[in-house]
Structure formats: C-alpha cells, structure tokens
A and B are shown apart, each in its own frame.
Chain A
Amino acid sequence: MNLFRFLGDTAHLASILVLIHKMHTTKSCRGISFKTQALYVAVFVTRYLDLFYRWVSLYNFFMKLFFIGSSCYILFLMKTKFRPTQDPAIDTFRIEYLLGPCTVIALIFNYKFSPTEILWSFSIFLESVAILPQLFLLQRTGEAETITTHYLAALGIYRALYIPNWIYRYFTEGVVDPIAITAGLVQTGLYIDFFYVYVTKVLQGQKFELPA
C-alpha cells in the first residue's frame, strides 16, 4: 500500500458517499445514469469473487464489501424510493456495446484462462468504460447539478491517483500489471473533457454547462 493508492481508494469511497448524499438531500437521482451504476455493480461483483478464496488484508476485505454493498444500495435507491425522479428516456447509451467487447477482450487478454481470471479481466475492462453512459447522459442534458459534478470529479481523481501508484509500485516492488494499467489509462482518459469543464467552471463557482 502506498499513499497514492490509499488516497485513490479514499477518493473512490468519497465519490460513492457524495452520490448517496446527493440522492438523499435532493431526494432525487436526476442526472445519474442507472446504466453506469448497474455496470459498477457488475464490475464489483465479478472482480471481488475472490472474497471467497483470497485473503489480501483487512483493509482490502472491508473495502470490497463496501463497494459491493454501496453500489447495490444505490441501484436499490434508484429502483425504489427515487424511481420517479429517474428519466430512462435520456439514459440511452447501449450497454451491449460495452458488455460485448469487454467479454471478447477479457477472453483474449487475461493472466490465466480460468473462469475467475477471465471475470477479473472482464471487470477491469468493464470498469474502464462503465462511466460512458453517465458521460453520455451529461452530454445529452448539457448541464449537471454541482453535487453530481463533485461525484464525477472524485471518481476521476480516484482513477488518476492509480497512475502514480503504478509508477511507484514499478520502482519499489517491480510490480507491473499490464491489464490494469492499460484499462486504467483508458479510463482516466475518459475524464479529461469532464475535468476541463469542472476546473474552468465548477471550481470557479459557475454552473456545470457544456458549450452548446
């Protein structure tokens, strides 16, 4: 464990708490893509199957439980309490276009051709693109509540911090995980456009609005 990864995980945890806080305080999940949230459940469940057979650390164990539990809780809130505030008409990204290619790529690129390793690869590739329905929704509406942008910013920071973590691990432990690194770079890249608007508008106290 190094500081970059710890802060990255903390940002990830914070992003989820921000999202849950947004839903409870605004009593709404407006502007949140159900599809992205559902993809995150798929990501966590397929990746953390190793809860049953691999012990890493107490930290790792509880974080995994938190990510699975909180992502399921978010889906539950979106399907029950806040269902009326959800607008499927604007959440139109076709997730088959993500699930299909991720399945194929996971079958080709994995560390071992075994069910759990293929699912692990799948979860890494799927996480890298799971934010796309959310960014697509944002693009369609052209604006976002400030709290929603803080959620996305925290997620982006989480991904960005994993990059110095890998550089650090390469030099200190000689560890290289090409699958995680490739997918992670793609994932971080997806946030660049968002971050430009976040820094130039939201952090200057303006509303998040995309140029027409």
Chain B
Amino acid sequence: SDHSHKHDEL
C-alpha cells in the first residue's frame, strides 16, 4: 500500500 498518502503527521 502507498503510505505516502497517510498524512498522519502534524
């Protein structure tokens, strides 16, 4: 899966 779209950082 592409983790770059997670945007889980501030």
Contact of B10 among A60, A111, A175 (CB under 8 A): A60
Contact of B9 among A67, A176, A178, A180 (CB under 8 A): A180
A60–B9 CA distance with the chains assembled, in angstroms: 8
Tell me the smallest distance from the CB of A170 to a CB of chain B, in Å: 10
Name B's interface SS.
Answer: loop
Chain B residues with CB below 8 A from A162, complex form: 9
The answer to whether A177 has its CB under 8 Å from any CB of chain B is: yes
Chain B residues with CB below 8 A from A50, complex form: 7
Interface size on A, as a range, is: 20 to 34
Tell me the smallest distance from the CB of B1 to a CB of chain A, in Å: 10
A60–B6 CA distance with the chains assembled, in angstroms: 13
Give the residue name and chain of the B residue nearest to A1 (CB): B8
Chain B residues with CB below 8 A from A174, complex form: 3
User: What are 18 A-B pairs with beta-carbon distances under 8 A?
Assistant: A5-B9, A9-B10, A12-B10, A54-B7, A57-B8, A60-B10, A63-B10, A67-B10, A112-B5, A165-B9, A173-B3, A174-B3, A175-B3, A175-B4, A175-B6, A176-B3, A176-B4, A177-B6
Task: Please list the residues of chain A having a beta carbon within 8 angstroms of any beta carbon in chain B.
Answer: 5, 9, 12, 50, 54, 56-57, 60, 63-64, 67, 111-112, 120, 162, 165, 173-180
16 new A-B contacts, CB < 8 A, other than A173-B3, A175-B4, are A5-B9, A9-B10, A12-B10, A50-B7, A54-B7, A56-B7, A57-B8, A64-B10, A162-B9, A165-B9, A174-B3, A175-B3, A177-B3, A177-B9, A179-B4, A180-B9
